[in-house]
Amino acid sequence: MTNVDVALRLVTDGMTLGLGSGAASERFLRGLGDRVRAGLKVAGVPTSNKIAAMATSLGIPLVELGNTLPLDYTFDGADEVDAKLNMIKGYGRALVREKIVAAASKKLVILIGPERIAEKRVGKLGSRGKLPIEVLSFAVKFVQHRLMALGMPSEILSENGSPVLSDNGNPILHALVKPIANVVELDALLQAIPGVVGTGLFLGMADLVLVQDGDIVHELRRTL
């Protein structure tokens, strides 16, 4: 039994699903593709161009987000999850689209694989030392200045000397952080900076986290 198997049990004919990005989401997508080829009738809203291409190759029908509200479930991964199921996401650059699709869903289900449980399940968000923030190109230096004033130096995510852009065409800053004392307060401060498109803090959004621990799947549910 895997966390993908548990997640797929939630899916029934006629559902519209948010399809997250990253390794855990890709494992779910492959399992969903098998079910679709066996006759399951669903449609998906991808959170990245890569996931859209993968879903198409697996035969999973795709639809536009605005035509399908609300989505039944979104299935996604996370980079950090705390005891309250607050999360940091976005190491894979799709944080803004992931947040939009998650917010458009009745339920958000997060899958964490067995390889990185120790580093992903954290006492405090920020324990891995970085927080992704998507910003407008025009505002990069300004946002970096504001982040520095908050004690958060930042680096532009780059590859081969060039900024790596999100599917929205925006650069990503990795703010260097320590474990965050008050995630709600910090998220509000960051969202208030002009030029910030979105942060990797996903607070109060996950309904269920499925943690694969060997042959056991732990089901963690958010309590209000």
The residue that leads in pLDDT, 222 or 216, is 216
φ, ψ for residue 43 (rounded to 5)? -135, 155
Give the residue among 197, 194, 157 at the shortest CA–CA distance from 175.
157
Q: Which is catalytic among the residues 98, 134, 159, 219? A: 98
Give the residue among 34, 102, 113, 110 at the shortest CA–CA distance from 71.
102
User: Same fold for the domain at 3-117+202-215 and the one at 130-197?
Assistant: no
Q: Which CATH number fits domain 3-117+202-215: 3.40.50.10790, 3.40.50.12160, 3.40.50.1360, 3.40.640.10?
A: 3.40.50.1360
pLDDT at 95 > cutoff 90: yes
pLDDT per residue over 50-73, tens digit each? Answer: 999 999 999 999 999 988 899 999
The answer to whether the beta carbons of residues 202 and 88 sit under 8 Å apart is yes
Lowest pLDDT segment from 113-127, 146-160, 200-214? 113-127
Q: Measure the CA–CA gap between 116 and 22, rounded to whole angstroms.
A: 13
pLDDT bin (cut points 50, 70, 90) of residue 168 is very high
Q: Measure the CA–CA gap between 214 and 80, rounded to whole angstroms.
A: 19
The pLDDT value recorded for residue 39 is: 98
The answer to whether the beta carbons of residues 205 and 87 sit under 8 Å apart is yes
pLDDT per residue over 174-215, tens digit each? Answer: 999 999 999 999 999 999 999 999 999 999 999 999 999 989
**Which structure tokens are listed for 92?**
């894979």
Taking CA atoms, 7 is separated from 4, 13, 63, in Å, by: 5, 14, 21
pLDDT bin (cut points 50, 70, 90) of residue 224 is low
Q: Where are the beta strands (DSSP E) in the chain?
A: 16-19, 43-46, 71-76, 80-81, 87-88, 105-112, 130-135, 154-156, 158-159, 162-163, 172-176, 196-199, 201-202, 208-213, 216-221
**Which structure tokens are listed for 24?**
């855990």
Catalytic residue flag (residue 185): no
The pLDDT value recorded for residue 22 is: 87
Domain ranges (residues) in the chain: 3-117+202-215, 130-197
Give 190's contacts (C-beta < 8 A, 6+ positions apart).
133, 147, 196, 199, 201
Lowest pLDDT segment from 1-10, 72-81, 113-122, 170-179? 113-122
- Section 137-156 average pLDDT: 98
Give 63's contacts (C-beta < 8 A, 6+ positions apart).
16, 43, 44, 45
pLDDT at 26 > cutoff 80: yes
The pLDDT value recorded for residue 161 is: 87
CATH level 2 (architecture), domain 130-197: 2-Layer Sandwich (3.30)
The pLDDT value recorded for residue 114 is: 84
Secondary structure (DSSP) of 44-90: EEESSHHHHHHHHHTT--B--GGGSPSEEEEEE--SEE-TT--EE--
pTM for this model (two decimals): 0.95
